[in-house]
Structure 1
Amino acid sequence: MKMKELLLFLSCVLCVSADVLHEDIKIAGCSDSDGEDVYTLDGEELAYADFNKQEEIYPQPPFVDPMTYPGAYEQAVGQLQICKQNLKVDQHDFRDIPLERDAPSAVMIYTRDEVEFGEENTLICHVTGFYPAPVNVSWTKNEQKVTEGSTINVPYPNKDGTFTQISRLQFTPQLGDVYSCTVKHLALTQPLTKIYDVQAPPQSDPGVGPSVFCGVGLTVGLLGVAAGTFFLIKGNECS
């Protein structure tokens, strides 16, 4: 009976695993001055064309097997030219139709790794829920604009048709430093700013632990004295 139950359980696990769906999305787009060509899997970037560096970028973590698309950048360049030609036609035919605009629904700022003072880390500004792409992200440190050490990925699509974009800033945390990322978008009447304040990690009072143990020991000792006194009196009464 136990063997049958085990086999049934394993069968269910295999069935569930077989029913898992993954979303593999490619998006190609352009503007008058820029273009985009990106592959995503389950909302994570696999590869994108960097038209400034003139190469295909693979922003994959080092612990996965590397994945490449031979000829992907050359294909992206060809699609970009076609896109720009179609854009000219669309701009002429739809010039009187107002553009749809959605402001970012969420802006978050956080560190990639646990903060250790003096150890290099990465600040991440995560922007999602906006349309059209892209957004503009700028960084400050102690109210001074940061011009080096920041990057931003190409926008990638969400399930609802909006976009997500992530900017990263390399920094070395020092106590008291204040960082900010500011997001600008066509649908925003004013920029959105998120603040990251470098603070000391919470530490427990070193005197609390010994005080607690001393208090417990004193209480147990007093209870022992009281119990001994009680039995001593009862013994005398019996005699």
Structure 2
Amino acid sequence: LTVRELLMKMKELLLFLSCVLCVSADVLHEDIGITGCSDSDGEVMYGLDGEELAYADFNKQEEIYPQPPFVDHFTYGEGTYEQAVADQQICKGNLQTARKVMKEYPLEHVAPSGVMIYTRDEVEFGEKNTLICHVTGFYPAPVNVSWTKNEQKVTEGSSINVPYPNKDGTFTQISRLDFTPQLGDIYSCAVQHLALTQPLTKIYEVEASARSDPGVGPSVFCGVGLTLGLLGVAAGTFFLIKGNECS
């Protein structure tokens, strides 16, 4: 082999080894940054491993960090919000260009594939809690979520996060409602989306539980035990009578 041919072979080998290393490397973490805009709204969000780390609130004019208080607090460097504002200007310029290019392209609408309502903590009567309405599998973003208590609309204590992208290209959003459970109260979250002809509604009813009413559990078990005992006595009497008839 000539020196030139030898060098070419070595380059090919190094390229092959580099590809092997790239393919075999394990992914430890996945981070994501999203910039979106419309004529009247905008979104800049940062996430890590499927969790929302921060987003720009253009109404409050600040960067919001929605992590719960029990995790280590994480913040980005100074100027993060200002950069988000600048990115919005670029996004809106690109939006106008895209509209001209894709003027006749129809927008696909995908209705939410899943809506769930549940409490953050175990329910105890009179103790503050949070209702969560989890909406996923929709496109495009966002959805609108409204809450009711006993068929009356509720806005105080409600919030909704910015849309989070799923791996299949759809989105997930979570709405929360602060509430104090009282027996018999009925809550609902109604989800509206471009692909829906009518809202998707999920119901949550505050019901009695063994923890919220200590007398319920023992009463139920005593009732079941008494019933089984009576059944046992009846069955024994039946077989005793039959035995006497045969003899």
Q: Give the TM-score of the pair, scaled to structure 1.
A: 0.77
CA distance in 1, matches of 2:121, 2:135: 19
CA distance in 2, matches of 1:43, 1:108: 18
**46, 49, 57: which is aligned to 1:50?**
57
CA distance in 2, matches of 1:96, 1:26: 29
* Unaligned 5+ runs, structure 1: 1-17, 217-239
Give CA deviations for 1:89-125 in whole Å, capped at 9, x if unaligned: 1112212110011111100000011111111110000
* Aligned counterpart, 2:150: 142
**23, 28, 34: which is aligned to 1:27?**
34
**76, 83, 91: which is aligned to 2:91?**
83
* Aligned counterpart, 2:76: 69
Amino acid of the structure 2 residue aligned with 1:91: R
Could you say what secondary structure the match of 1:166 adopts? strand
Could you say what secondary structure the match of 1:200 adopts? coil
* Aligned counterpart, 2:236: none
Count of matched residue pairs: 198
Amino acid of the structure 1 residue aligned with 2:166: N
Could you say what secondary structure the match of 1:85 adopts? helix
CA distance in 2, matches of 1:38, 1:211: 54
* Aligned counterpart, 2:202: 194
Per-residue deviation, 1:210:
11
1:76–1:118 distance in 2 versus 1, CA, 3 Å:
same
Give CA deviations for 1:124-178 in whole Å, capped at 9, x if unaligned: 0011111110000000000011121100111111111111111000111100000
* Aligned counterpart, 1:204: 217
* Unaligned 5+ runs, structure 2: 1-24, 211-215, 230-247
Per-residue deviation, 1:64:
2.1
Per-residue deviation, 1:21:
2.9
Amino acid of the structure 2 residue aligned with 1:125: C
* Aligned counterpart, 1:157: 165
Taking only aligned residues, the RMSD between alpha carbons, in angstroms, comes to 2.2
Per-residue deviation, 1:19:
4.2
1:178–1:83 distance in 2 versus 1, CA, 3 Å:
same
